[in-house]
Amino acid sequence: MLQVENIHTFIGQFHILEGVSFSVPHGSIVALLGRNGAGKTTTLKSIMGLTPPRRGRILFDGVEIQGEPPHAIARRGIGYVPEHRAIFRGLTVLENLQLAERRKGDLARKSDFIFELFPDLRRLIGLRGGQLSGGQQQMLAIARALVPDNRLLLVDEPSEGLAPVIIESIIAALQALRGEMTIVLVEQNFLMAQKLADTYVIIDDGKSVQTGRMHDLAHDHETIRRYLGAS
């Protein structure tokens, strides 16, 4: 579904991505792993056109999308759940969801599906974003990406700053999306990545250095120590 081919991305004069390549099969969950500052967020932003790559190709359903503006890339059916959630704190849950509509009636069409996945959001519908807990904000951020007809979700560090029990509920929700959505997940929490992802891509110093099956990585202590800095 998604093919990232040797992309190079600059931010200002800084050469941040120096060759990132990976592919995302339809219906799979792919985890982008790597240390802080390795380039995982920049990879997601490059796919979305927010920091467009200067070199390389990005194909979505076989069509080159690099160089298109972010709104055009989103309209192809790619949803972005950014780091730190970026919900509108002064707007209600309902208003946050309404703003995510791409076509009139999107929310009405999707609301049963969304509230089945996140029952808490129905109860919280009138509260402002800023009144929600971190976990509830994360659920809203994911729900927002489900309002329009997206087929691919790019989710950046959904576990960040959340308690283990809340992380479990986010894992369950993303697990429930399997089959409906193809997902690229950036995650520092190795256990979360391990529970969700089919395959992994390790990004180190702006380059993709290793890919494989997530199941195999869990036993590869040398790779984990070298690139992820975890025991």
Ligand X SMILES: Nc1ncnc2c1ncn2[C@@H]1O[C@H](COP(=O)(O)OP(=O)(O)OP(=O)(O)O)[C@@H](O)[C@H]1O
Interatomic CA distance for residues 93 and 77, integer angstroms = 22
For ligand X, the closer of residues 16 and 170 by Cβ is 16
CA-atom Rg of the chain in angstroms: 17
Minimal distance, residue 186 CB to ligand X, in Å: 6
For ligand X, the closer of residues 22 and 118 by Cβ is 22
DSSP code for 226: I
For ligand X, the closer of residues 29 and 147 by Cβ is 29
For ligand X, the closer of residues 38 and 93 by Cβ is 38
The runs of H, that is alpha helices, within 65-224 are: 70-75, 93-99, 106-117, 119-123, 134-146, 164-177, 190-196, 214-217, 221-223
For ligand X, the closer of residues 46 and 96 by Cβ is 46
**Are the CB atoms for 144 and 137 separated by under 8 Å?**
no
User: Contact between 13 and ligand X (CB under 6 A)?
Assistant: no
Encoded one letter per residue, x for contact with ligand X by CB under 6 A and - for no contact, window 171-190 reads -----------------x--
User: Contact between 42 and ligand X (CB under 6 A)?
Assistant: yes
User: Contact between 39 and ligand X (CB under 6 A)?
Assistant: yes
Minimal distance, residue 154 CB to ligand X, in Å: 12
The stretch near ligand X (CB under 6 A) out of 10-18, 101-109, 115-123, 162-170 is: 10-18
Let me know if 3 is exposed, middle or buried by CB neighbors in 10 A (0-12, 13-18, 19+): middle
**Are the CB atoms for 219 and 194 separated by under 8 Å?**
no
CB atoms < 10 A from the CB of 123, how many? 12
User: Contact between 41 and ligand X (CB under 6 A)?
Assistant: yes
What tokens does 55 get?
A: 């070199």
The stretch near ligand X (CB under 6 A) out of 8-16, 53-61, 64-72, 191-199 is: 8-16
**Are the CB atoms for 200 and 211 separated by under 8 Å?**
yes
Encoded one letter per residue, x for contact with ligand X by CB under 6 A and - for no contact, window 53-82 reads ------------------------------
User: Contact between 36 and ligand X (CB under 6 A)?
Assistant: yes
Backbone torsions φ then ψ of 111, nearest 5 degrees: -60, -40
